[in-house]
Structure 1
Amino acid sequence: MITPVLLCGGSGTRLWPLSRKSYPKQFAQLVGDKTLFQASAERLRGPEFAAPLVLTASDFRFIVTEQLAAIGIDPGAIVIEPEGRNTAPAVLAAALWLEKSDPDGMMLVAPSDHVVPDADAFRAAVAEGEKAARDGDLVTFGIKPGRPETGYGYLELDGDPGDFTPRAIPLKRFVEKPDIATADKMLASGNFLWNSGVFLFSVRAILDAFRQHCSDLIAPVQAAIDKGQPDLGFLRLDPAAWAGAEDISIDYAVMERAGNLTVIPYASGWSDLGGWDAVWRESGPDDDGVVAHGSATAIDCRDSLLRSEDSRMEIVGIGLQNVVAVAMPDAVLVADASRTQDVKTAVAALKAKGAKQAEAFPLDHRPWGWFESLVIGDRFQVKRIHVHPGAALSLQSHHHRSEHWIVVEGTARITVDDEVKLITENQSVYIPLGAVHRMENPGKVPMVLIEVQTGSYLGEDDIIRYEDVYSRT
């Protein structure tokens, strides 16, 4: 069986304001009714695949388990990276972890933020690459280019792709992201493919390649695994050892240096959703080239994307052409469609001026659910808190604030010092400053309450935890 290795620790900025550091695009429903991460996991399930191995950041670990549970997938292991060190250390960590149980096993490395509309065709391409991988080759998957794209790296084939039927073809070289003139020439030549960043190889073959081409990476990554700490079913890699690993991509570390490379052409649809222009293409524009998503209305518009991510936020476009407009509860992007790659520049500008919208998502996701701030004043804050069925917040107290909780959906079990009681819709409870308290959802449906905080300091760090089922004490 092939073990899918899902990489989902990234925090891309090119799809701001929907994708942010605290909640990046792989966990969003950008295309279809599932998140990109869920779609990636589903694409790699079946009798030929083992349970997935997931590499992610600490902040996303509970989002990963929640989203996999929602589609009925139980991961084989979830490895937490203390910090992003690019793809080479992540792939090496996955290989060293899998070596413990099956040194001759197969691993398929895939980013978790791609769109692949035809999952069956993709699995068929994987099957075509499996023989070459079992023979010791490092197999990558190249996408038939549909335009002279400057945002992707390319693969030059040592042979003719013909009709791009998936089959093993020797790979001549990797090519960096080109300028538009070079991209035009490569598209015209017919023997260049987009580099998908998806790889298939045996555990033994990739470890041999690291030993031969990037041996300095092995010691720190192995130490990070050996010194890693189990945490509620996760493996936390050792931070000190991991920090000693070079920040380098798998392409630079191994693939561009290896001689045993094979590429499988793939022409059945693919996108890495690297910008809002890609989202527009993958969303199926109408006859006028318009995509209106969510609470969006387009009047006499052409070749534009209008997208609202909040039912309370109506966005209306009139007479627009080649415009991207994306509305969130706390931020709105309006851009010329040809300038969508400059969104990352806007994020950098927001960070420079200290705007929290640069990185913080409106919903603050926690292992028990999420909350959003509705109103913030000098000495008060109003939040909406959503608690999953069976979940519980930590037993905690605050130095600087008191709280008033009003249940608006479901039932809450409330602890305040020595008193424990159930409160239901339209009932409330007061939490005095300094009281030890906790809220739980004992029911089978989500519980929602409105929290009113008052006090001299309302920061999230004003929490003393005494007990926590998620080991955050």
Structure 2
Amino acid sequence: MTTKIVPIILAGGRGTRLWPLSRATAPKQFIRLIGNRTLFQDALERVSDRTFYEPAIIVTNEEFRFLVAEQARELGSDLSSIVLEPVARNTAAAIACAAVVAAENFGENAIIQVLASDHEIVVDETYRNANLTALAAAADGKLVTFGITPTEPLTGYGYIEAGDVLPSGAHAVRRFVEKPARNAAAEMLAAGRYYWNSGMFMFAVPMLLAELESHASEVLKAANLAVSGAVQDLDFLRLDRSAIEKSPDISIDYAIMERTSRAAVVPSAFKWSDLGSWDSVWKTGAQDESDNVASVNTTLLGTRSSLVISQGPHVVVGSLENVVVVASEDAVYVGRMEDSQEVGQVVKHLGSVPATSSLTEVHPTCYRPWGGYTSVLTGDRFQVKRIFVSPGKKLSLQKHHHRSEHWIVVKGTAEVTVGNTAKLLRENESIYVPVGEIHRLSNPGKIMLELIEVQTGSYLGEDDIIRTADEFGRS
């Protein structure tokens, strides 16, 4: 049995509040907002100390499985397990399944820490001390949540009222408060014993399972059946679908934390944000002398207190104040900073209109287990893509019924099979793949392979791929 903490990272969310960069198929935990790492990679880095943590258990879904694996590989982070939920059933089911897996992998008395994959946290002495306090409380049989010291009366968070101090240094939970109105939030801020509910937890597995049995037995029953019927597929553990579908759709807060007598809260003053809106990205970002947060591909002239991000064209913002400007490859959002909480309503509107609904779902850059592609240009009977293939990876052996393809290598070396012929293509070399011809692309080199693909034909959808062999089990 391990004496270290087993981290559980929940990475299945499909948030769109950071649109247009975050989409249903490329949510915020897997995108690079400002720096070189994603929020998911930051979460992995926070649990990388092997003197304190075991390798993480990731809970995600089918669509994000290769993103999880690839981003962990990029960071050089070893994982204990990647657990795939066949259907979302909220945090109670996800945590219950992960706890059962943790007990199997690390012993039935393991202590787990539940973390979100999309939070911004500054790891300092305050953060480390909060974890030590939580560990002591969990070892003492408490179900521990982390309460963030509020800095303003925000209405987007639930609040926790702290009670008496426990021997561990944590506090008993007096009550949980739903997302309040602003005047109520201001009163709680003034009272000084209320904390934002961070959605981070620490549990001893036996105590968590016992409380689930007492307060949410159907969740625990479904979790046990889902894990016992799970199937290992490459690096992934696929939970049994029929079992998990029977689990109630309920959060861990409603399932046990608001019902148990063992709830404890660790008041935590470390810097934290759930990055639930563009103004929170601005608040946590590195601001310049004009209080702006800006990415590359931007120029700001006479602009103050603004957030400007571009992952596409160069964006110039002049003589504005308190604005958010975010450009992806195919969409631009411009709004007042104080209205950034309303992006969710914008996404709902776009999703309700057939002409714009795809903008809320599909990101121009799509990731695959071998690398990915970016849609560059689409027209009548043609499409241009930038394809990138990681070193040592290969696409499936495949053919298309409705399109032909032209490949031009712009970086690295490609090994290409067309029909019965295989050849190496280097930079500035190209090849043609006729309609219906079996073909395959791989990267035998040590650097990323990049090429431009021009598709032509009567139908260019991704479902016109007939795989005959695939190392990722998709044929």
TM-score band (shorter)? over 0.9
Deviations 1:146-197 (A, max 9, x none): 0001011111011489xxxx93111111111111011010001001000111
Superposed structure 1 runs of 4+ greater than 4 Å apart:
none
Q: What are the superposed Cα offsets for residues 204-259 of structure 1, whole Å, 9 maximum, x if unpaired?
A: 01000100000011222222222222111200112222222111110001100000
- Residue 117 of structure 1 is matched in structure 2 by 122
Q: For 1:57 and 1:232, locate their aligned partners in 2 and report how far apart those are by CA, in whole Å.
A: 15
Q: How does 1:286-365 map to 2 (within 5 A)?
A: 286-310=288-312, 313-354=313-354, 355=356, 356-365=358-367
| Aligned mates of 2:198, 2:16 — CA distance in 1 | 19
Return 5+ residue gaps in structure 2 as ranges: none
Matched, 1:152 2:157: yes
Instruction: Please give the residue correspondences for 1:441-452 in structure 2 after superposition, counting only pairs within 5 Å.
Output: 441-452=443-454
CA offsets per residue over residues 14-58 of structure 1, 9 Å max, x none? 111111111111112235432111111111121011110000111
- Report the AA paired with residue 333 of structure 1: Y
Among 43, 49, 60, the alignment partner of 1:56 is: 60
Rounded to whole Å, the distance in 1 between the matches of 2:329 and 2:104 is 47
Asked whether the equivalents of residues 415 and 439 of structure 1 are also in contact (C-alpha less than 8 Å), the reply is: yes
**Residue 91 (structure 1) aligns with:** 95
Give matches, 1:179-258, under 5 Å: 179-258=181-260
CA distance in 1, matches of 2:74, 2:59: 19
Distance 1:371 1:33, change over 3 A: closer
Is structure 2 residue 375 aligned with structure 1 residue 370?
A: no
State the Cα deviation string for residues 64-117 of structure 1 (Å, max 9, x = none): 111112222110011011122211100000111122241101000010111111
Q: Deviations over 1:278-336 (max 9, x none)?
A: 000001323432222221222222221111123xx111112212211111110000111
Correspondence for 1:35: 38
Cα pair 1:36 1:115 within 8 Å, conserved: yes
User: Contact 2:165–2:172 (CA<8 Å) still a contact in 1?
Assistant: no
- Aligned partner of 2:6 in structure 1 is 3
Contact 1:417 1:437 in 2 (8 A): yes
Letter in 2 for 1:115: E
Could you say what secondary structure the match of 1:156 adopts? strand
Match of 1:140 in 2: 145
The verdict on how the C-alpha distance between 1:277 and 1:172 changes in structure 2, with shifts beyond 3 A counting, is: same
TM-score, normalising length: structure 2: 0.96
Counterpart residue identity of residue 160, structure 2: L
The residue type equivalent to 2:94 in the other structure is: A
CA distances 1:421-473 after superposition (whole Å, capped 9, x unpaired)? 11111111111111111001111111111111111111000011000011011
RMSD, aligned α-carbons: 1.5
**Worse overlay, 51-60 or 220-229:** 220-229
Q: Using structure 1 for the length normalisation, give the TM-score.
A: 0.96
Asked if the contact 1:44/1:123 (under 8 Å) is kept, the reply is no
| Whole-Å separation in 2 of the counterparts to 1:72 and 1:403 | 34
Q: In the comparison of the two structures, how many residue pairs are matched? A: 467
- Residue 20 of structure 2 corresponds to 17
The AA in structure 2 aligned to 1:189 is: A
For the 8 Å contact 1:138–1:261, the answer to whether it is kept is yes
In 2: Cα distance, 1:286 partner to 1:412 partner: 43
Give the 3 Å change call, closer, same or farther, for CA 284–160 of structure 1 in structure 2: farther
1:286–1:408 CA distance, 2 compared to 1 (3 A) = closer
Amino acid at match of 1:56: T
The corresponding residue for 1:468 is: 470
Which secondary structure state, in structure 1, belongs to the residue aligned with residue 73 of structure 2?
helix
Aligned-pair identity in percent equals 47
